[in-house]
A and B are shown apart, each in its own frame.
Chain A
Amino acid sequence: MSDRIFGVFGIILAVGYVIAALAIEESFLSDAVGPKAFPLIIAAILALSGAVIALRPDPEPHWPALARLAEVAAAVVVLILYAEMLPVAGFVIATAFAAAYLAWRLGSGPLETVAVGAGTSIGIYVTFHLILGLSLAKGPLGF
């Protein structure tokens, strides 16, 4: 079933891609092929392979239980927050929280969680910023 849904999704993606490709405004100075032809070829391959996947699906992959899916979704949300907070909170604080969260969800105890968070963040800051001179996000506190 997953493959059938995936194949149909591929076909829809191809259709959307074709619509977007046909909407490309051509410049009056164009080559013999133009900017639309290559995307249209790709869309054809995309649709064709999507159709084959939908018609001849592989055995069902192993999907995790709902709780594990929620786990991955939560991690994605945390990482998005991390990306958004990086310029606001500064590198060291944001990274410490994000690394600690991941360590906690992978099964670290409380003490180890704090250690991994602080260790990763400070370790990266020292190696990449202080030693190697890479510019990392500066927060209000200057680090």
Chain B
Amino acid sequence: MELLANLGDGFAIALSWQNIGLALLGCFLGTIMGALPGLGPSNGVAILIPLAFTLGLGATPSLILLTSVYYGAMYGGRISSILLNIPGDEPAMMTCLDGHPMAKKGLAGEALSLSGIASFVGAFLATWGLILLAPQLVKIALLFGPAEYFALFALAFMTLGGVSSTNQAKSAFAAALGLGLATIGVDTQTGVPRFTFGEVHLYDGLDFLVAIVGLFALSEVFIFLETRHGGSDAAGRKLTIGKLYPPVSMIRQTTPTMLRTSFLGFIAGVLPGAGASLGSFISYSMEKKLVDKEGTFGTGDPRGVAAPEAGNNAAAGGALVPMLALGVPGSGTTAVLLAVLLALNITPGPLLFSQNPDVVWGLIAALFIANFMLLAMNIPMVGLFTRVLMIPSRILMPIVAMVSFVGIYGISGSTFDLLVMIGFGVMGWVLRKLDVPLVPIILGTLLGNSMENNLRRAVTIDNGNWWTLADSPLSITLWAIAIIGFVLPLIVGARVKAKMHQRRDEEGAISD
């Protein structure tokens, strides 16, 4: 009952004209960003963060705008998967397998609307999952002391390494790099400057927003310049959609698939380190094993379209659970959303639910509203978004670059930050070439300070005894999960990950 009351309060917040407008804008921009190959949820949200700040939006409106973009991108990714066989973003990769064959059979409209419905079901159920699960997780998190938090952060980094890259050493490298970057600046405990080399601009530390926009958005521009990929992927192809509404029998046939994969995707999203890509991947694989008796998967089976779409949208909702309840994001885009919260001086975690219930429940209510908006946008209006695919990247990429600059300059007004951003852009480009995942770097710069503070607090409380980090049952459990999460993929995961990152090009580094 308390839950419904909270939800009611949330709707009261979300149903203001401003918030509805922001959700609509976010859904629209998100769908476009998801649809365009090259712009995905994480860099789409990254570009918009500085703008949300400079507009002077409060915490709830900013989050509504940006999570709508996130949900929207999950919907939008399928459009180019189905029509062009090019995933609009990484989670939509599995949708290519059956979506494009359906389009070839002349069922493009059915595939688009069916995947839209599947996306809706996945996201809708996952939002309920978020409501039910997050408060439970908060209850556990309230038992955490500094030592447990330190173990939890370690767990996040170690499991993230297991999923985000094919090479564990490179994920560990990326995490250490991010944590190292976070230590730049004045030490919060003793007030001594560290790694600043006398540069006054560095005393505050590196702004993680600058790092995020540089690593995610600017490095994308460099990739396009390098390959001189200036045209539009849709050029010279006819994008016929045909009949828009799927027959009832098709929906009935795919309903069990959608329900099963929503559940599975949600679980995949909640797990630390796993994001929407994993959600859609395991959803598709499981459905294939379970119902593909005639071997129709891969040849345009509607169930093969519904499975990954319900899976990735559910995973997107699931990934919000650890981000909101524990302050530890499970995927790239939720890491970016965490950056928003931190920059707004809101610390996610158990206290968020008691101190800022308006933010949490306003956000959840907005997610429901956004979901209905997205359903409306993505079925009747899908033709509008297919036209977006015609924009060649030689026009799009300069705009992306300039908007990134405007956003960062708008926050700080300093040329130094712009130069740091360019530096991060180049670093991101090199690391993507080397197949080093970028998400652990972002997570490191975001969580580095609180990870160190918790470590020092825990050890100081216990008079300098380092074993305090692993002497409660809770922290031992967390360490055990962390170690299993790191070691297990070394043994069994290589094959799965190799399949998941089949497109082993630069996209893999920002997989979500």
Query: Do these two chains interact?
Result: yes
Interface residues of A (CB under 8 A from B): 2-3, 6, 10, 17, 20-21, 24-27, 29-35, 37-39, 42-43, 45-46, 48-50, 52-53, 56, 58, 61-64, 68-69, 71-72, 75-76, 79-80, 82-84, 86-87, 91, 95, 98-100, 102-103, 105-108, 112, 116-117, 120-121, 123-124, 128, 132, 134-137
The answer on a CB contact under 8 Å between A38 and B394 is: no
Are A38 and B452 neighbours in the complex by a CB distance under 8 Å? yes
Would you call the interface of chain A mostly helix, strand, loop, or mixed?
Answer: helix
Whole-angstrom CA separation of A113 from B452 in the bound complex: 49
B237 CB-CB contact with A under 8 Å:
no
**Chain A residues closer than 8 Å to B192, beta-carbon distance:** 24-27, 35
For chain B, what secondary structure do more than half of its interface residues adopt (helix, strand, loop), or is it mixed?
helix
Instruction: Report the nearest A residue to B422, measured CB to CB.
Output: A79
Residues of A within 8 A of B226 (CB): 64, 68-69, 71-72
Contacts A53-B173, A134-B55 given; does A27 touch B225 at CB 8 Å: no
A102 touches B401 (CB 8 A): yes
Cβ contacts A to B, 17 pairs, < 8 Å: A2-B434, A24-B192, A32-B464, A38-B183, A42-B183, A53-B173, A56-B169, A61-B434, A68-B228, A80-B422, A86-B409, A86-B415, A98-B401, A102-B401, A106-B225, A116-B394, A136-B406
**Which listed residue, B225, B393, B415, B459, touches A71 by the CB 8 Å rule?**
B225
- Which residues of chain A are within 8 angstroms of B230 by Cβ–Cβ distance? 106-108
- A35 contact set on B, CB distance < 8 A: 187, 189-190, 192, 194
B55 proximity list for chain A (CB < 8 A): 132, 134
B422 near A29 with CB under 8 A, answer: no
Residue among B166, B401, B433 making CB contact with A99, cutoff 8 Å: B401
Query: Cβ of B398 < 8 Å from any Cβ of A?
Result: yes
Cβ-defined contact, B418 with A120, below 8 A:
no
Contact indicator A33/B460 (Cβ below 8 Å): yes
Pairwise interchain contact A49-B410, C-beta atoms closer than 8 A = no
Contact with A along B171-188 (1 / 0, CB 8 A): 011011101100100010
B225 contacts which of A53, A72, A121 (Cβ < 8 Å)? Answer: A72
Given contacts A42-B183, A45-B172, A134-B54, contact A34 B190 (CB under 8 A): yes
B71 at the interface (CB under 8 A from A): no
A68 to B434, CA, bound (A): 17
**B100 at the binding interface (Cβ < 8 Å):** no
User: In whole angstroms, what is the CA distance A49 to B169 when docked?
Assistant: 5
Partner of B394, one of A31, A58, A98, A107: A107
User: Per a CB cutoff under 8 Å, which of A39, A61, A80 touches B433?
Assistant: A61
Is B224 an interface residue, CB under 8 A from the partner? Answer: yes
Which residues of chain B are within 8 angstroms of A20 by Cβ–Cβ distance?
A: 194-195, 197
Indicate whether A124 sits within 8 Å of B394 (C-beta atoms), given known contacts A46-B173, A135-B413: no
Q: Once the chains are docked, how many angstroms separate the CA of A83 from the CA of B412?
A: 13
B459 touches A32 (CB 8 A): yes
In whole angstroms, what is the CA distance A108 to B231 when docked? 9
How long is the Cα–Cα vector from A80 to B423 in the complex, in angstroms?
9
